[in-house]
Structure 1
Amino acid sequence: MHEEPEHGTPRAVAVVWGLLVLNTLGSAGAKTIVPLPRSLIQLVTMGSLVAAFALALALNPRLRIRPSAYVSLLTLLLVTSVIASVNLESGFGALFRCFRLSLFVSTLWLLSRWWDGGLTFVRHHIRMYFAVLGSVAAGLAVSPGAAMPDLYGGRLVGALWPLTPPQIGQYAAVIIGLTALLLLGRRTDRRSAAVIIVPSLVLLALTHTRTATLGLLLGLALAIGSLFLTSAAARRFFGWAVLCAAVAAVGFASALQTWFLRGQSQENFSSLTGRAKVWDALLAAPRTTAQEWFGVGLGDKSFGGLPIDNSWLAVYNEQGLIGVGLVAAVLVVLGGVALLRPPSLQRACAIFLISYCAIASYTEAGLGDASPYLLHLAVAVSLLAAPAPAPEPAAPPAHATALTTPGAPRRRVPRWARRPEVS
């Protein structure tokens, strides 16, 4: 990918971002080729978060941070999570998850120093998740049976690291969208973009992930639409996209329908693969006033032993109505700031990430805890941040100004005041 100078951003920041990505990969998923104990995976992911915080602190020892409504709202969400978790309704694991979220938010505060409206964090994001997809592709090449097991209906999973199809689809969709926007804005060349987009599209198709696919298409439509009036390339891209979509809808309607339904019955599809039953049970469960407002504490995003798979209901269950209000404020504030910014590539990338997270929140959990979705939104914040003001040059001493200003009389320095020359 075409490189741009990263003014004022240490290269070690990319390492910190990679460690945050590793932490949010999770420890539950498909069976891997080489069995990995869950305790070992949790040790690696939690250790990566501690290392990320320590390295960010070493890079920013004076604790220079930039004001950020996004991280401020996450801090309030952390406070709400602690209040809900101290009752131990979700066990001691809730307090451990609060500690993890505190390290995660603290690391984002430390990194906010380098959020300057540039594309630095976009490139870090693409590189890190492309490396994750590389491990998925390697697992598919080594053991196709383990990478596409019958347990998941033949959908692609992580065979080297336990990754589920929705996770892989999410990572692929996000880097496809960001890379396409970089290509559209001429910040990368076609060859570099193809190296990322083509294999990522193949992996996305193998996951059969509908949420990621819809998020990619709708997010790109909104992002490109924000450039429609100011970019001829965006208008051409949009036109070709509409034409290709029309051709695909007519010529491949049956194949697309088969891929989209994934062999499910109409009843199973209408209930969102059983998600609606879990949602109804969660909403019907009795709650105290404290649980209604603050939730039951951070858990594993499940109810009755089944995954919730909805960010809003997961937040409602674990952080209550206050948590739901804070998460909604995050999306509203970021969306409002993006709309107020003048058209630019950075704004388009931010709109893509914000809209993708909003769309995926309906069938995926993660907006209320340390997750890839919070990293996506952090990248959007870095894109919407105002450029850091350049430091003003120090004023030269008065005598130096007098000696160097054109037309100023030169003062003669007495012999006794001159410094001896060193040979």
Structure 2
Amino acid sequence: MGEDPMRGAPRDRPVPRPARTPRAVAVVWALLGLNTLGSAGAKTIVTIPRSLIQMVTMGALVAAFTLALALNLRLRVRPSAFVFLLTLLLVPSVISSANLEVGFGALFRCARLALFVATLWLLSRWWDGSLTFVRHHIRMYFAVLGSVAAGLVISPGTAMPEYYGGRLVGALWPLTPPQIGQYAAVIIGLTVLLVLGRRADGAGAAVVIVPSVVLLALTHTRTATLGLLIGLTLAIGSLVLTSAAARRFFTWTVLCAVVAAAAFSSALQAWYLRGQSQENLSSLTGRAKVWDALLAEPRTTAEQLFGTGLGDKSFGGLPIDNSWLAVYQEQGLVGAAVVAAFVVVLAGVALLRPPSLQRACAIFLISYCGISSYTEAGLGDASPYLLHLALAATLLAAPAAAPRPPAPPAPRRRVPSWARDRKVN
């Protein structure tokens, strides 16, 4: 794209780092993102066997861990409550999966989660509260959206199929509308915040924001849109008292939203309903029926505490589409408590930090994941949502202490000549 859209004005106050972040760290982060893209979704232009997709995604995770280990051979890690609690989540996952109630795939998913967490531990060495990983995150998902846009141009019929109600899907890689909407919403929110914090120029940010907004609109994803709007409102609200740019943006956004709601109310309502009836909408497109059946399922005490094992986030052949119920189903009440703990810890740390751009980005990510958790699964397994929260953890990490410069040598004391003569005598 020529000029890097994510590189903006120099920092007002540089954050000290323990060491220069290697460029290969961006590759590790991108490989983690590739692993979380999933292997099931829409039909693509060229049919890709699911086994091949799984080999690519799992191979990406192995490559990410290997490269991270090569970069951090001395195993230097930074303390992180988020990654520590994520490590604890492995306990109920392994206990429940060892029963093989959902097959050997549960143990495979446990190994995948363990490798994912281990890679985060290795990367924690470079978590210093800077915006480095934010830029990696935006570039990574912008590249994914680029493949979606390319598929739309090459084969519009495949990219917007009737079996998805004409919603945008991945025609080159099997991505569902909620996935595309999630990636678009996250990079839109982060880029807007970088512009407000004067860490990205307007022209470069427009290259990211404008096509992402178009793709988000074509997915008709309500959860991603609401998460973006609410998350940005909370994030910008945290900057209002300290940033004039945030105050201006907030004021103009509210005015534009009121005008748009008045002028295009019917069009916005039609987009929101997606041709569904009020009854279907009230049941969250059938999700509520699956949730009721899941909660009514009789369980043993062990299943209530530790779940039935890591599976494909479905119940009775239907997707659960709720992170908390999916965790309860697969990792039990213990797993749900651990997930709630790391979300609460991240939110608490973000609220206690003084206002800053890093804090605003973390608030956006945490609030977005919290809103999406109601209609999307993923907080209990290796997923984009855990990667978003890991990014929030990098932003909330305390800056490393600046290395002290070596002390200057003590001045040499000159001895008077009479003292030297006396010493000699």
Structure 1 residues 163-242: aligned runs within 5 Å: 163-242=175-254
Q: TM-score, normalised by structure 2?
A: 0.93
State the secondary structure of the residue aligned to 1:319.
helix
State the secondary structure of the residue aligned to 2:89.
helix
Structure 1 residues 44-123: aligned runs within 5 Å: 44-123=56-135
Quick one: which amino acid aligns to residue 238 of structure 1? F
User: How many Å apart are 1:8 and its aligned residue?
Assistant: 1.3
Deviations 1:119-170 (A, max 9, x none): 0000000000000000000000000000000010000000000000000000
Larger RCO, structure (CA 8 Å, separation 6 or more): 2
- Residue from 326, 348, 368 that aligns with 2:380: 368
Q: How many residues align?
A: 404
Deviations 1:329-385 (A, max 9, x none): 111110000000000000000000000000000000000000000000011010011
- Mapped to 2, the partners of 1:288 and 1:394 lie a distance apart of 63
Quick one: which amino acid aligns to residue 178 of structure 2? P
Structure 1: any 5+ residue segments left out of the alignment? 411-423
Quick one: which amino acid aligns to residue 340 of structure 1? L
Structure 1 residues 242-253: aligned runs within 5 Å: 242-253=254-265
- Residue from 321, 340, 346 that aligns with 1:309: 321
- Mapped to 2, the partners of 1:365 and 1:393 lie a distance apart of 49
- Mapped to 2, the partners of 1:392 and 1:343 lie a distance apart of 27
- Mapped to 2, the partners of 1:235 and 1:156 lie a distance apart of 34
State the secondary structure of the residue aligned to 2:253.
helix
User: How many Å apart are 1:393 and its aligned residue?
Assistant: 3.6
State the secondary structure of the residue aligned to 1:49.
helix
- Residue from 168, 174, 182 that aligns with 1:156: 168
Correspondence for 1:140: 152
Q: TM-score, normalised by structure 1?
A: 0.94
Correspondence for 2:418: none
Computed over aligned residues only, the root mean square deviation of the Cα atoms, in angstroms, reads 1.4
State the secondary structure of the residue aligned to 1:88.
coil
- Mapped to 1, the partners of 2:383 and 2:215 lie a distance apart of 21
- Mapped to 2, the partners of 1:270 and 1:179 lie a distance apart of 33
- Mapped to 1, the partners of 2:181 and 2:110 lie a distance apart of 27
Deviations 1:38-85 (A, max 9, x none): 000000000000000000000000000000000000000011100110
Structure 1 residues 381-396: aligned runs within 5 Å: 381-394=393-406
Deviations 1:69-107 (A, max 9, x none): 000000000111001100001110000000000000000
State the secondary structure of the residue aligned to 1:338.
helix
User: How many Å apart are 1:395 and its aligned residue?
Assistant: 5.0
User: How many Å apart are 1:394 and its aligned residue?
Assistant: 4.4
Structure 1 residues 206-355: aligned runs within 5 Å: 206-355=218-367
Correspondence for 2:419: none
- Mapped to 2, the partners of 1:393 and 1:26 lie a distance apart of 48
User: How many Å apart are 1:285 and its aligned residue?
Assistant: 0.4
Matched, 1:131 2:126: no
Matched, 1:13 2:22: no
Deviations 1:278-304 (A, max 9, x none): 000000000000000000000000000
Deviations 1:250-288 (A, max 9, x none): 000000000000000111111000000000000000000
Quick one: which amino acid aligns to residue 157 of structure 2? G
- Mapped to 2, the partners of 1:389 and 1:64 lie a distance apart of 15
State the secondary structure of the residue aligned to 1:280.
helix
- Mapped to 2, the partners of 1:297 and 1:389 lie a distance apart of 42
Quick one: which amino acid aligns to residue 83 of structure 1? I
- Mapped to 2, the partners of 1:148 and 1:94 lie a distance apart of 33
- Mapped to 2, the partners of 1:331 and 1:239 lie a distance apart of 30
User: How many Å apart are 1:409 and its aligned residue?
Assistant: 3.8
